[in-house]
Amino acid sequence: MSADWPLWEVFIRARGGLSHRHVGSVHAPDSAIALKHARDVYTRRMEGVSIWVARSSEIAASDPAEAGPTFAPAETKVYRHPTFYSIPPHVKNM
């Protein structure tokens, strides 16, 4: 039965102020049921305050075979890291 249903990726916000994080997936016939399934599968132990679900088939992913051309060029660009700035002492979290 669940094989007839589309797959949904589940994202949970653990606390206010944090981003939603991918936690897994559920099968469900539509988004409303997917949210309820996600609640029952992934928030049984108070793991979250907000849930997103997205059809897995709607997510576009980078091609692992193209990992070299996609990510390698960034390796040598150390100047893109803001490590050359000194942080004023009264700035606590940066």
Could you give the CA distance from residue 26 to residue 34 in angstroms, rounded to a whole number?
7
Closer to another protein by CB, 1 or 78: give it.
1
Interface with another protein includes 54 (CB under 8 A)? no
Q: Is residue 47 close enough to count as binding another protein by CB under 8 A?
A: no
Q: Which of 18, 24, 29, 57 binds another protein (CB under 8 A)?
A: 29
Candidate segments 21-29, 50-58, 74-82, 86-94, binder of another protein by CB under 8 A: 21-29
Q: 52-64: b or e for each residue (b if 16 or more CB lie within 10 Å)? A: bbeeeeeeeeeee
